[in-house]
Every structure is written in C-alpha cells, then in structure tokens.
C-alpha cells in the first residue's frame, strides 16, 4: 500500500511540474483579409534589419475597393506617393498571398508576397519567388504629415 501511495504522490508531483506554463503565450494569427489589413503600416525590418537611417515605407490599405496608398523613399531622394489596388488569394501550401498593381499603368508589384503572422500590431511579408526577401510591418497611427506634405492620405471608409 505504501508503494502505491508513494507512486501516486510521485506521479502527482511530476504532473505538476509538467503542467507549468512557459512565459510565452501563443497568439493565433488573424485571418488575412482586406478588413484585417485595413489601416496604416510601416516597414520595421527588411531582411532582418531596420531600414537605413532616413529610409521608410508607409502603406495604407483601404478596404473599400481594395486600394492602397504608399509613401516610400527607397528609390528616390524625396518621398514618392504610389497608389493602386491590391488583391488577396490563398495558396494551399503557402497560405495568404497579397499582390497588387500601380495606378496610371505603371505595372504590377515586383513580387507577390506570402503574408504570415498577421496580428493587430504586425505582419510579415515574404516574397513568393525569393524567400530571402522578408519584410516586417508594424501598424501605426498614420503617415506623418512631414512625409505627406500635409495632404490627406486617408480615406474615410476603410
């Protein structure tokens, strides 16, 4: 009887240690949809490093009509405002894919991007044709007026 009692007590102690929770709580990613993408995002990391001093990319997704407004200065000295439409599709193996085109007949985005780890505050884009091209975007309140020149870059209906 003592052996059974000791074995039971030992089992309960082992179970208690195994049941301890680690400090990281798993947060399930949100569904990638125009509704969940709506808002303004800022590039926080590109290929594991923050943008070089003074470089930026801001993109605002407008869920109505699936449009976007982007301000960036990666390929020019001054801010460039780019507009267009975006679309989402789902690949069975890769998950959500975002792609788009530029207004004024400027063509399609250079890559289609696999969108992962979408949360209310961040998301990761990986170029579908170049898995080493990884961008981390964080949600922000809006595009700074110093970049937009004070123009209204937001749509009323998101």
41 contacts 139 by C-beta, under 8 angstroms: yes
Of 145, 134, 116, give the one whose Cα is nearest residue 32: 116
In a domain, 84, yes or no: yes
pLDDT value for 39: 96
Per-residue pLDDT of the chain (158 residues; tens, 9 = 90+): 666 656 565 565 666 666 655 556 666 789 999 999 999 999 999 999 999 998 999 999 999 899 999 999 987 777 899 999 999 999 999 999 999 999 988 899 999 999 999 999 999 999 999 999 999 999 999 999 988 887 655 444 44
Total length of the chain = 158
Distance CA 113, CA 31 (A): 15
Classify residue 2: in a domain, yes or no.
no
The answer to the question of residue 14 being in a domain is no
Kindly state the helix (H) or strand (E) to which residue 135 belongs, with its residue range: strand 130-140
**Which residue range(s) make up the domain with 47?**
34-143
pTM above 0.85, yes or no: no
CA dihedral 107, 108, 109, 113 (to 10 degrees): 180
pLDDT value of position 78: 79
Whether 156 is in a domain gets the answer: no
- Find, among 43, 41, 70, the residue nearest to 54 by Cα: 43
Question: For residue 113, what is the enclosing H or E element?
Answer: strand 113-116
41 located within any domain: yes
Give the per-residue pLDDT at 137.
97
The number of distinct structural domains making up the chain is 1
Residue 70, domain member (yes or no)? yes
- Residue 62 inside a domain? The answer is yes
In this predicted structure, what is the pLDDT of residue 156? 40
Please give the pLDDT value at position 12: 59
Question: What is the C-alpha separation between 59 and 140, in angstroms, rounded?
Answer: 10
Structure tokens at 19: 């049941």
Q: What is the reported pLDDT for 158? A: 41
CATH of the domain at 72: 2.40.128.280
Q: pLDDT at position 13, please?
A: 64
């Amino acid at each position: 009887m003592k052996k059974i009692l000791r074995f039971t007590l030992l089992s309960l102690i082992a179970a208690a240690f195994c049941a301890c929770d680690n400090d990281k709580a798993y947060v399930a990613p949100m569904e990638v949809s125009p509704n969940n993408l709506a808002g303004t995002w800022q590039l926080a990391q590109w290929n594991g490093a923050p943008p070089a001093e003074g470089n930026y990319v801001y993109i605002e997704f407008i869920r109505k009509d699936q449009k976007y407004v982007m301000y960036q200065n990666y390929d020019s000295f001054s801010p460039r405002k780019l507009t267009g439409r975006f679309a989402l599709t789902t690949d069975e193996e890769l998950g959500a894919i975002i792609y788009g085109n530029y207004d004024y007949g400027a063509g399609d985005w250079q890559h289609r991007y696999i969108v992962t780890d979408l949360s209310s505050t961040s998301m990761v884009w990986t170029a579908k044709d170049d898995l080493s091209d990884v961008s981390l975007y964080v949600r922000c309140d809006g595009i700074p007026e110093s970049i937009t020149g004070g123009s209204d870059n937001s749509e009323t209906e998101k």
